[in-house]
Copies of this chain bind each other. A is one copy, B any other.
Amino acid sequence: MKTREKIILTSLELFNEQGERNVTTNHIAAHLGISPGNLYYHFRNKSDIIYDIFQEYEKLVDYYLDIPTDRPLTVDDMMGYLESVFDGLWSYRFFHRDLEFLLDNDQRLREDYRKFTYRCLDAIRRIFDGLRDGGVFHDQSEELKEAMALNVWLVITHWMAFLKSAQPSDSGSDSIRPEQLKEGIYQVLTLEMPYLREPYRDQVMALRAQYRPSVMAKKAVNG
């Protein structure tokens, strides 16, 4: 494998494990067993590494959210989108974690991310439309679909942050498991619940039950 690729992979791995803020370029080089000079031969600076990773993430999600317009959508389609998006979220989970700082320090990234966000919101709306055409969703006003899409986006992109903040202190820094992340699907389906038509409603509710967050079972100690 080319050194450039290795840098990307290792950076992503370390960022995901420890957070971008806690991973220096020297760490990345050391972890790879290469010199800092070598790393900087392949990338002008740290931002470029992050930007590269973002573009891969973007490509992946755009691929996932390529919604067919020539046919209505099914419950299976919907679950597929959810599973895919949360998979992507897991693979690039560092990104949403340090998002604000990253955007503040790279205008290019800020602009691209903004467009990315609106593309995703649009895709969510198109999924709603497809599901309505498939008889899964009730028809709703454009305004409501827009607000709903935004709420879905908020839940999806920040579920990870919630999980991490609700973790007890004694667990390690990288203790969230992919299955826990998937529990965000439960929350998204909770949002959609009131807008589902029978008989799909019961079907989706049954699927939803499988993702029930484990945090909910636990009772918090309010000392």
Which A residues have a C-beta under 8 Å from some C-beta of B?
Answer: 19, 21-22, 97-101, 103-104, 107, 110-111, 113-115, 117-119, 122, 143-144, 146-148, 150-151, 153-155, 157-159, 161-162, 164-169, 173, 186-187, 190-191, 193-195, 213, 216, 220-223
Q: Can you list 8 A-B contacts with CB-CB less than 8 angstroms, sorted by A residue number?
A: A22-B104, A114-B165, A117-B166, A118-B222, A148-B190, A151-B190, A154-B162, A191-B191
Which 7 pairs of residues, A with B, have the shortest CB-CB distance?
A: A118-B220, A194-B194, A158-B158, A147-B190, A107-B169, A110-B169, A111-B169
Task: Report how far A143 CA is from B190 CA in the complex, Å.
Answer: 10
Task: Report how far A118 CA is from B220 CA in the complex, Å.
Answer: 6
Q: Are B187 and A220 in contact (CB under 8 A)?
A: no
Q: Give the nearest-CB partner of A218 in chain B.
A: B118
Give min CB distance, A147 to chain B, whole Å. 4
Q: Are A220 and B190 in contact (CB under 8 A)?
A: no
Residues A144 and B222 in contact in the complex (CB < 8 Å), given A100-B19, A117-B166, A155-B151: no
Q: Give the nearest-CB partner of A147 in chain B.
A: B190
Q: Are B147 and A186 in contact (CB under 8 A)?
A: yes
Q: Give the nearest-CB partner of A118 in chain B.
A: B220
Give min CB distance, A183 to chain B, whole Å. 10
Q: Are A161 and B99 in contact (CB under 8 A)?
A: yes
Give min CB distance, A119 to chain B, whole Å. 6
Residues on the B chain within 8 Å of A190, using CB: 144, 147-148, 151
Task: Report how far A167 CA is from B222 CA in the complex, Å.
Answer: 37
Residues A191 and B151 in contact in the complex (CB < 8 Å), given A19-B101, A103-B164: yes
Residues on the B chain within 8 Å of A148, using CB: 190
Residues on the B chain within 8 Å of A19, using CB: 100-101, 104
Residues on the B chain within 8 Å of A119, using CB: 220, 222
Q: Give the nearest-CB partner of A101 in chain B.
A: B21
Task: Report how far A94 CA is from B69 CA in the complex, Å.
Answer: 42
Residues on the B chain within 8 Å of A97, using CB: 100
Q: Are A223 and B187 in contact (CB under 8 A)?
A: no
Q: Are B147 and A221 in contact (CB under 8 A)?
A: no
Q: Are A223 and B115 in contact (CB under 8 A)?
A: yes
